[in-house]
Amino acid sequence: MHPGNIGSAARAMKTMGLSDLRLVAPRRFPAPEAQWMATHALDVLQAARVHASLAEAVADCEAAFALSARPREWSTPVLEARAAAAEAARLAGPVAFVFGNEEAGLTNDEMLACQYLVHIPADPQYSSLNLAQAVQVVAYEWFLLSHGKSPEFRKEKPATVADREGLYAHLERAALESDFFDPASGSKLPTRLRRLFARVPDLEREEVNILRGLLNALQKARSK
């Protein structure tokens, strides 16, 4: 990612009242180009957190929304930017909007690590937005829906991305141990499980714990 786009993204965020910028293994950061483009948004830029992986960057979020101009055969639910902002505003916990680099965008694995795929409608002849432009569009839609919005009361803690990833890994282990899943067969089971739970946006941490407790009990009974 060109560091100038990082600065432009920080500026786009600040104009819409956003400040939590997280960067995943940037090639060059900090960099003077980022500061040049972050006009009046140096505070957002300087507070940016750098993470080694996408999983680490979004681990504490209730949901992650992946931005892509390209359709994917095996994707999580697809929303247009406005609908994605509405879904994000509806959730009580922190959410992440995930943008790829300018050259190739997000990989399939990165997209599948998120719960939603977000598309910004554009001319099909040239639908690729500059990174900072895409950030601005999403931040604007978020601002319209969340400005002055009171957070919804929720008794139970929502499942974080890390909670979901732990569940996916546990389900795959259980499927392997029970011979229900054979990776050599070409089965799409792990992807289908992700798609299944991506359709449960209000999944709670306690519900994840119940499912994992059930898996533990079944694995223990099978080993006897």
Domain ranges of the chain: 3-146, 161-223
In this prediction, the residues of the chain whose per-residue pLDDT falls under 70 are 1, 71-75, 148-155
Cβ-in-10-Å burial (0-12, 13-18, 19+) of 195 comes to: middle
Strand partners, 117: 66, 78
In whole angstroms, give the CA distance from residue 17 to residue 82: 17
Q: How many CB atoms lie within 10 A of CB 19?
A: 12
Q: What contacts 24+ positions apart, CB below 8 Å, involve 80-84?
A: 80/118, 80/119, 80/120, 80/121, 81/118, 81/119, 81/120, 81/121, 81/137, 81/138, 81/141, 82/141, 84/116, 84/118, 84/138, 84/141
In whole angstroms, give the CA distance from residue 123 to residue 160: 35
- What lies within 8 Å, CB to CB, of 122 at 6+ separation is 69, 128, 129
In whole angstroms, give the CA distance from residue 32 to residue 29: 9
Amino acid, res. 114: C
| Residue 162 near residue 212, CB atoms below 8 Å | no
CATH architecture of 161-223: Orthogonal Bundle (1.10)
| Token duo for residue 50 | 């750098």
- Torsion sign across C-alpha atoms 163, 170, 72, 75: negative
Percent with pLDDT over 90 in the chain: 74
pTM for the structure as a whole: 0.79
- Assigned CATH topology for domain 3-146: Alpha/beta knot (3.40.1280)
